Amino acid sequence: MQFRQFRTVDDLHRAAAAQAAASLAARLSTRATVRLLAATGSSQIPFLEALVATPGIDWSRVELFHLDEYVGLADSHPASFARFIRERLAEPAGIGHVHLINGCADPEAEVARLERELARAPIDLAFVGIGENGHLAFNEPPAQFETNRRLTVVDLDEVSRRQQVGEGWFTTLDDVPKRAITLTIPAILSAGEILCIVYGARKARAVAACFNGPPHAMAPASILATHPCATIFLDAEAASGLRLSAATGT
Ligand code: GLP
């Protein structure tokens, strides 16, 4: 894992989009299809806009999965992650093959369906964010670092549910679903390369909890430190609680 820290959030998004585009282009130059895993959430929006605007990516040969979805939320709801992926990545980019998580399906049947799709081939590249409570996708603290499953149904942490209200996706806490389908930590870590985008003061505490010490279950995204090809894109605010030894990797 390496950190890349930026002075402005604009610089961060440009650099993350450039690295993602270069990674996609390199992989597409050597094989027929590239399998991509994308995060949703407010922090991903400018990055995805910059990536979709980058010329030269043959999106028709990209196969897309996303990290998580609320149980019981229709994909017409403004907070639906499936809708987010469709409207902000799949459609504008023109992605050929998209696997959306159906929040209205029977959760265990949906998990089993996507488990089969994910098992067909490795994930090449993943985009992730870090929640205000340190979650990775919807793997809430305490996270399960070891499981044979690629997806699971989880109860959402109240901090996560409040974050969604704070970001404006829902009006009240009661409106936020209490369960979600999420890719597991091992499924996310199986990606060949991971780009993690995390910025703003509201993430400083989670970033410090994740990276100032060894990985631990109460800070789920801390497990990214064990990945050989993960890059954490940070701004100064999100990095403000990082000890120098963590930020420099020494
Ligand atoms: C969201 C999603 C994650 C996302 C994380 C950070 O709720 N479950 O996939 O990466 O929490 O969200 P944001 O980037 O909006 O801060």
Nearest CA residue ID for atom 11, ligand 1: 131
* pLDDT tens per residue across span 110-120: 999 999 999 99
Name the residue of 37, 81, 130 to mutate for ligand 1: max ligand atoms within 8 A of Cβ.
130
Residue 126 pairs with which residues in a beta bridge? 37, 194
pTM of the model: 0.96
For the annotated catalytic residues, the residue numbers are 68, 133, 135, 140
Query: Which of 176, 159, 160, 188 shows the shortest CA–CA distance to 39?
Result: 188
What residues does each domain of the chain span?
Answer: 2-238
CA nearest neighbour of 119 among 195, 221, 71, 190: 190
Measured from the Cα of 44, ligand 1's closest atom is: 14
Ligand 1: residue whose CA is nearest its atom 1 = 41
Quick one: average pLDDT of 165-188?
Answer: 97
Name 128's Cβ contacts closer than 8 Å, sequence gap at least 6.
39, 67, 136, 137, 188, 194, 195, 196, 197, 221, 224
Using a 6 Å CB cutoff, which residues line ligand 1?
Answer: 39-44, 67-68, 128-129, 131, 137-138, 167
* Nearest residue to 139 (alpha-carbon basis) of 194, 206, 188, 191: 188
C-alpha 104: how far from its chain's center?
Answer: 21
**pLDDT (tens digit per residue) in 103-160:** 999 999 999 999 999 999 999 999 999 999 999 999 999 999 999 999 999 999 999 9
Confidence at residue 129, expressed as pLDDT on a 0 to 100 scale: 98
Our mutation pick for probing the ligand 1 site, out of 9, 42, 68, 69, counting the most ligand atoms within 8 A of Cβ, is 68
Provide CATH code, domain 2-238: 3.40.50.1360
Query: In angstroms, what CA-CA distances link 107 with 69, 100, 116?
Result: 10, 13, 14
The SS3 assignment for 213 reads coil
